[in-house]
Amino acid sequence: MDIKFLKTISDNGFYNMAMDEALFITGMPTLRFYTFVPPAVTIGRFQKFNPSEFPQNMDIVRRLTGGRAIIHKGDLTYSVVVPLDSVLGKTAPEVYKKIGEMFQVGLNKLDIPAELVRAKLNPDYVNRVSCFSASARYELQLEGKKILGSAQKVENGKILQQGSLFVDSENENFNQLGVKQIMGKEFEIEKIVLAVKEAFVKSGINITDDELTDKEKKLIDNLLPKYHNPQL
């Protein structure tokens, strides 16, 4: 399978979420990594919006995917768009697991001893504000702490999977602890991107560096207004 790989960007939450939806709409298999500047909070597609539960000085953006809230500060976020039946898996859970395995391979290559853990969904998960309060399905952990959280949207034979790897993050209220804080070492974002990208390639995926199409750019512009309203 061929996947286009977009250059890692740093942008605001509204633009990042609009871009992921645009990529999902067009449906071309895509892998991208990004960070949030300025820091922002994303909330799950069906999560109840209560402004008092989140930092008051950050943008709040509703994701297209499910799950709970994440503070994007010091993390590396990714999104993958693939057909439902692909080399990554024939079902949504298979895709979820396969992507987790590739993150594990990439991080292990950098001497980060992350482990892919299958955890039962906590019955109270839907009532928790933070995505990192519990592990669901297959999650990547480091020394027993969740460092990678992901969520999906499946529609019209396509999957959008978004996730965040906490690299340099410490927020006790949201149970977010980064690789740096756990291991006491600095890790460069770009080295992590390259290691995970290489893991995708070794799994049999042909990755081609590419750019947004004109159609995708236009879709982003059209989608931006809705992302400025987390109530939607």
Catalytic residue among 60, 131, 165, 223: 131
d(CA 4, CA 8): 12
d(CA 77, CA 184): 21
Question: Edge-to-edge, what's the strand order for the sheet holding 158-166?
Answer: 115-119, 137-142, 145-155, 158-166, 75-83, 30-36, 2-11, 206-210
At 200, give phi and psi (nearest 5°).
-60, -45
Cα atoms in the Cβ-side hemisphere of radius 13 Å centred on 182? 19
Count other C-beta atoms under 10 Å from residue 37's C-beta.
Answer: 14
SS3 170: strand
Q: Is 199 a catalytic residue?
A: no
Looking at the annotation, which residues are catalytic? 131
